[in-house]
């Protein structure tokens, strides 16, 4: 490859596939244990049968930036990829496939069904990892793991057995999130709370003596059939006389007590709460405190059971209608109010979940949480940004036991067998031959599987070979940083910390870098139901992976959500094109460049010293921001340096020195600075935009086989030149001012202007004298330098920049009469619009009725028009002489 065959237009597709194949084939991502300092990240495992979405794209872009940066810094860098078996999601996919064939999983049986799931996994499991490659993820694919591979499965069994033997895993009845369609418990993170319009039903519960009554309010009247008490606050004077008395449950006639409990908020609703321990998690806790019975009235298929009395066999929604009708007819329904409230839905099938009492397996979390709380308080784990520390600690200090069983077939089956003779439970890695209690061989394994989060909680150490003591586990654990979204801090991050401390006696990672969600342009979460998702692969096809990555990281601040705007994506593509065009120009002028014969620093011009100094500032700032996880700020610094300082200023300033026929030594000096800054800039930009930087770097003089292995640019303070920066700032400000005058006065771009610069300061005058060629070249003008001015030139536009007075005589540059006519016409239009706005703002009726934001918008418009009119009048005054 040479610089001579560089296409005129940048084509991401031609570049990206080529370089990724080159990187992967040459094992540039591969990590092996050695004596260097390690840097390791484990990838939050996406669903094995899933496909890349914008959340994945952001999460993995951030991880890749950190990985590529640390790799260039010389760390032994491991980014370990993997996928999650995603129990409920994957099983649902295969069941959908079976349904199209007119079958269910029960037609196949468990063993044959699991064979189908594994086949599905083999067919579709590589889709998301292929898409991550399209994104540019520099993972060590040779170490790719799967939560149900042999090693991870062994780790799951080992953890379960240890916790079981330590009394930290138990089986009991508790309230769980039950999906009536998927027929399984689901974790809190798998419940989507959607705001839905509903009703609040006020129901009168009479005392058993018929002399009084308590009114309660509920959004789920069907659960009243499972009520076992009504609770009031112990300090509530309204109900104190009723505490200890008995109420009669409407419709069923069951008697139940009035109890006092501080859980009740006396200011909410009627201040009385119906207690249904089998169908509400808070009521369950109240019921346990007061030793209340647990009456389950809804079955796992969301149909009312025998405890529901005359409503047995009804679907829960039909039951609700019947109950409301009956309550109204019997005089128990006090009133009904419209009420919007959050309703939990299964994230997979969108069915309304049912909180339900069920016998499940749990992990006792309180004793495990204590070390995890201390690790964060002591600073052994640091959250970025810091505000998530408080959120983490609050959740951990109020943690509940974790339901780990799922009523699925796909997943890690619970390693417990039950004796059908004596009902003994036996936990073991392999099937036991006989009951350890009675010796019976009639053993049956628990049909449930473990929550997907159970295996992913072990991810930082199970992926490195635990429970075996592998060299990788010893070297790369604890990992350096975890990069993850703010939405799973409790469900995954906390559980990894708990597991790592308990089984490794060490934190799983030193830092947790939390990022926000990718929202649509309106600030809504992307979802299938809204139809507002954007496919990253479509974006890569249309704009390139580098543009997608740069768009996702720019403007991104740790922990905050990011809105996806196609305009920002177009801006990132324009940035890639700017880099390409600037590099192509540079490479065209480096054909005879010889780094060995380049002159030294003594030959550098002011522009050379300035760009080298600004490049060093860029190195320092980018590295500093990466160190503090301010990746968006690092990208901003690079963008501004490349687009503004390097492309728009230095390249324009250096062009005349590169033309053949100029001073050979000066040309060689310009080539050397141009090549060094361009190469260094590509190295700084590489973690953010890996493909285009590799393509350009390979065409520049370089050492090594890939930019990925190039040393990260190191800040060199001796190359910072504050004087050069200050002097260039003066010249740049003068150039900008002249350009602004030309633009304001409509001077044709091709015309050379005569410019008078009045400079009283001797140093500034000497500076402009020496480097007037910069002003003349970039502002297209001829410069006259004067210490003072006898008289102001007629019809001259005027400006001031850094103490330099600028006069641009306009006679001969523009058609003054024509410009006067144009400006008068423009002023008339502006004044007409200004008068309209002023009239609107002077109208008391408008001010009283219009929304505040509309009024503010009109005020801003008034200010804008007044400023514009003033500027036009000033230009007219100049032209009138």
Rounded CA gap, 674 and 656, in Å? 13
**CA pair distance 800, 822, nearest whole angstrom:** 26
CA atoms of 627 and 539, how far apart (whole Å): 29
Is 564-703 a CATH 1.10.730.10 domain?
yes
Burial of 33 (0-12, 13-18, 19+ CB in 10 A): middle
User: Which two tokens mark 186?
Assistant: 């689901």
Other Cβ atoms less than 10 A from the Cβ of 31: the count is 24
> What per-residue confidence (pLDDT) applies to 668?
94
Burial (CB count <10 Å: 0-12, 13-18, 19+), residue 522:
exposed
User: How far is residue 229's CA from residue 560's CA, in Å, rounded to a whole number?
Assistant: 44
425 SS3 class: strand
Q: Which residues pair with 149 in a beta bridge?
A: none
Written as six digits, the tokens of 105 are: 């999983």
In 3D, which of 828, 835, 833, 838 has the Cα closest to residue 872? Answer: 828
DSSP state of 788: S
The Cα 78–Cα 456 span in angstroms is: 18
Token pair in block for residue 343? 């309703």
Which fold would CATH assign to domain 817-880?
Helix Hairpins (1.10.287)
pLDDT under 70 in the chain at which residues? Answer: 1-4, 529, 660-662, 881
β-bridge partners, 206:
213
Contact 185, 403 (CB under 8 A): yes
Distance between CA atoms of residues 539 and 833, nearest Å: 42
What SS3 state is found at 799?
strand
Which residue bears the tokens 């514009």? 868
Q: Which residues pair with 563 in a beta bridge?
A: 519
Between CA 519 and CA 526, with CA 522 as vertex, the angle to 5 degrees is 35
How far apart, in whole angstroms, are the C-alpha atoms of residue 222 and residue 304? Answer: 9
Rounded CA-CA distance 450/660 in Å is 73
Domain 184-355: CATH class, spelled out: alpha beta
Q: Are residues 291 and 264 in contact, defined by beta-carbon separation less than 8 angstroms?
A: no
DSSP state of 642: I
CB burial class (10 A; 0-12, 13-18, 19+) of residue 711?
exposed
Pairing label, strands 562-563, 518-519: parallel
CA distances to 549, 590, 642 from 556, in Å:
11, 36, 19
Helix or strand run (H / E) with residue 843: none
308, two tokens: 């529901």
Q: Are 208 and 245 in contact (CB under 8 A)?
A: yes
Query: Which of 136, 102, 98 lies closest to 114 in space, CA to CA?
Result: 98
For residue 512, the cross-strand partners are: 383, 482
Please tell me the number of Cα atoms within 13 Å of 116 on its side-chain side.
21
**Strands of the 402-403 sheet, one edge to the other:** 184-186, 169-179, 354-363, 402-403
Instruction: Give the C-alpha separation, 367 to 381, whole Å.
Output: 19
Question: 456: which 2 tokens?
Answer: 């992913």
Q: Quick one: the chain helix, strand, coil %, rounded to 5?
A: 50, 20, 35
Q: Which of 62, 205, 192 is nearest to 138 (CA)?
A: 62
pLDDT value at position 864? 86
* 142: DSSP letter: G
What pLDDT shows up at residue 521?
87
- Return the number of other C-beta atoms located less than 10 Å from residue 633's C-beta: 20
3-class secondary structure, 537: helix
**Of residues 493, 421, 484, the one with CA closest to residue 457:** 493
Burial class (CB in 10 A: 0-12, 13-18, 19+), 602: exposed
Indicate the pairing of strand 213-218 with strand 246-248.
Answer: unpaired
Contact 261, 341 (CB under 8 A): no
* 54-72 helix and 127-135 helix, angle to the nearest 10 degrees: 60
> Which sequence spans correspond to the domains of the chain?
184-355, 564-703, 725-814, 817-880
DSSP letter for each residue of 83-136:
EB--HHHHHHHHHHHHHHTT--HHHH-HHHHHHHHHHHHHHHTTHHHHHHHHHT
Q: Quick one: CA torsion of 258, 264, 265, 266, rounded to 10 degrees?
A: 10
Contacts 24+ apart (CB under 8 A), 99-106: 105/409
Q: 3-state DSSP call for residue 741?
A: helix
User: What whole-number distance in Å separates Cα of residue 403 and Cα of residue 186?
Assistant: 9
CB neighbourhood size of 750 (10 A): 6
Burial of 549 (0-12, 13-18, 19+ CB in 10 A): buried
In what order do the strands lie in the sheet containing 781-786? 781-786, 753-758, 804-809, 796-801
Name which CATH class applies to 725-814.
alpha beta
Residue with tokens 């209608």, as numbered in its chain: 321
How do strand 255-260 and strand 229-232 relate by DSSP bridges?
A: parallel
Cβ-contact 646, 689 below 8 angstroms: no
pLDDT value, residue 793? 82
* DSSP states of 204-272: EEEBTTSS-EEEEEES-GGGGGG--EEEE-TT-TTTGGGTT-EEE-TTT--EEEEEE-TTS-TTSTTSE
Q: Does 27 belong to an annotated binding site?
A: no
- Peptide bond between residue 478 and the one before it cis (omega within 30 degrees of 0): yes
Residue ranges of alpha helices (H) inside 428-535 are 452-456, 459-462, 471-476, 494-504
Q: Are 137 and 64 in contact (CB under 8 A)?
A: yes
What is the per-residue pLDDT for 410?
Answer: 96
User: Token pair for residue 158?
Assistant: 């080992």
Instruction: Give me Rg for the CA atoms of the chain.
Output: 36
């Amino acid at each position: 490859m040479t610089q001579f065959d560089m296409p005129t237009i940048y084509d991401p597709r031609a570049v990206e596939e080529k370089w990724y194949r080159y990187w992967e084939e040459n094992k540039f991502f591969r990590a092996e244990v050695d004596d260097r300092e390690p840097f390791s990240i484990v990838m939050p495992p996406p669903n094995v049968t899933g496909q890349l979405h914008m959340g994945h794209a952001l999460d993995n872009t951030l991880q890749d930036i950190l990985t590529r940066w640390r790799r260039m810094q010389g760390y032994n860098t491991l980014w370990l990829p993997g996928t999650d078996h995603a129990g409920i999601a994957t099983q649902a996919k295969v069941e959908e496939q079976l349904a199209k064939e007119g079958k269910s999983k029960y037609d196949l049986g468990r063993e044959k069904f699991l064979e189908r799931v594994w086949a599905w996994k083999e067919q579709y499991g590589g889709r998301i990892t292929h898409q991550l490659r399209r994104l540019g993820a520099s993972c060590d694919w040779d170490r790719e793991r799967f939560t149900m591979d042999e090693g991870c499965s062994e780790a799951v069994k080992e953890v379960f057995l240890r916790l079981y033997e330590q009394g930290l895993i138990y089986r009991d009845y508790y309230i769980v999130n039950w999906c009536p369609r998927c027929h399984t418990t689901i974790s809190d993170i798998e419940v989507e709370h959607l705001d839905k319009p509903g009703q609040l039903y006020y129901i009168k519960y009479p005392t058993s003596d018929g002399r009084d009554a308590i009114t309660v309010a509920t959004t789920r009247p069907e659960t009243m059939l499972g009520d076992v008490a009504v609770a009031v606050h112990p300090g509530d004077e309204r109900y104190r006389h009723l505490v200890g008395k008995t109420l009669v449950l409407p419709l069923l006639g069951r008697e139940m007590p009035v109890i006092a409990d501080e859980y009740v908020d006396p200011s909410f609703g009627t201040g009385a709460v119906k207690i249904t321990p089998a169908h509400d998690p808070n009521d369950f806790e109240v019921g346990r405190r007061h030793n209340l019975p647990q009456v389950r009235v809804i079955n796992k298929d969301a149909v009312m059971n025998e405890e529901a009395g005359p409503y047995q066999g009804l679907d829960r929604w039909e039951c609700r209608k019947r109950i409301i009708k009956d309550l109204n007819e019997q005089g128990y329904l006090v009133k009904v109010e419209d009420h919007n409230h959050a309703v939990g839905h299964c994230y997979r099938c969108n069915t309304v979940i049912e909180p339900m009492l069920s016998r499940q397996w749990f992990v006792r979390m309180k004793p495990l949480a204590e070390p995890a709380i201390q690790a964060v308080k002591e600073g052994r784990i640091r959250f970025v940004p810091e505000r998530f520390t408080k959120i983490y600690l609050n959740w951990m200090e109020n943690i509940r036991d974790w339901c780990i069983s799922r009523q699925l077939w796909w997943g890690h089956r619970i390693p417990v067998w039950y004796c059908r003779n004596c009902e003994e439970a036996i936990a073991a890695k392999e099937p036991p031959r006989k009951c350890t209690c009675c010796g019976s061989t009639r053993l049956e394994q628990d049909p449930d599987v473990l929550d997907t989060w159970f295996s992913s909680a072990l991810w930082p150490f199970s992926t490195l070979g635990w429970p075996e003591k592998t060299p990788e586990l010893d070297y790369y654990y604890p990992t350096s940083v975890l990069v993850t979204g703010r939405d799973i801090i409790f469900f995954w991050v906390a559980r990894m910390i708990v597991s790592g401390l308990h089984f490794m006696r060490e934190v799983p990672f030193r830092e947790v870098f939390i990022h926000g969600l990718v929202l649509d342009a309106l600030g809504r979460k992307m979802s299938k139901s809204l139809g507002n998702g954007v496919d990253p692969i479509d974006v890569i096809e249309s704009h390139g992976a580098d543009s997608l990555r740069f768009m996702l990281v720019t403007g991104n601040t740790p922990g905050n959500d990011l809105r996806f705007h196609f305009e920002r994506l177009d801006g990132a593509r324009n940035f890639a094109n700017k880099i390409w065009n600037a590099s192509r120009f540079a490479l065209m002028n480096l054909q005879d460049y010889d780094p060995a014969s380049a002159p030294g620093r003594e030959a550098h011009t002011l522009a050379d010293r300035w760009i080298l100094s600004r490049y060093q500032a860029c190195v320092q700032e980018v590295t500093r921001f990466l160190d503090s996880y301010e990746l968006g700020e690092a990208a901003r610094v690079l963008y501004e340096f490349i687009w503004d300082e390097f492309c728009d200023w230095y390249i324009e300033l250096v062009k005349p020195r590169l033309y053949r026929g100029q001073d050979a030594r000066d040309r060689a000096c310009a080539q050397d600075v141009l090549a060094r800054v361009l190469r260094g800039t590509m190295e700084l930009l590489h973690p953010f935009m890996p493909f285009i930087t590799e393509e350009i770097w390979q065409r520049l003089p370089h050492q090594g086989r890939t930019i990925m292995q190039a040393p990260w640019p190191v800040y060199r303070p001796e190359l910072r030149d504050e004087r050069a920066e200050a002097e260039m700032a003066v010249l740049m400000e003068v150039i900008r001012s002249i350009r602004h005058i030309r633009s304001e006065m409509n001077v044709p771009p091709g015309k050379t202007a005569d410019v008078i610069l009045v400079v009283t300061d001797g140093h500034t005058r000497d500076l402009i004298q020496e480097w007037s060629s910069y002003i003349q070249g970039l502002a297209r003008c001829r410069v006259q330098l004067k210490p003072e001015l006898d008289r102001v030139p007629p019809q001259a536009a005027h400006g001031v920049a850094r103490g330099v007075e600028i006069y641009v005589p306009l006679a001969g540059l523009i058609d003054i009469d024509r410009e006067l006519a144009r400006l008068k016409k423009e002023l008339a239009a502006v004044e007409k619009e200004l008068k309209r706005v002023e009239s609107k703002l002077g109208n008391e009726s408008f001010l009283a009725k219009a929304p505040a934001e509309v009024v503010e918008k009109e005020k801003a418009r008034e200010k804008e028009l007044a400023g514009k009119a003033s500027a036009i009048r000033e230009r007219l005054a100049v032209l009138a002489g």
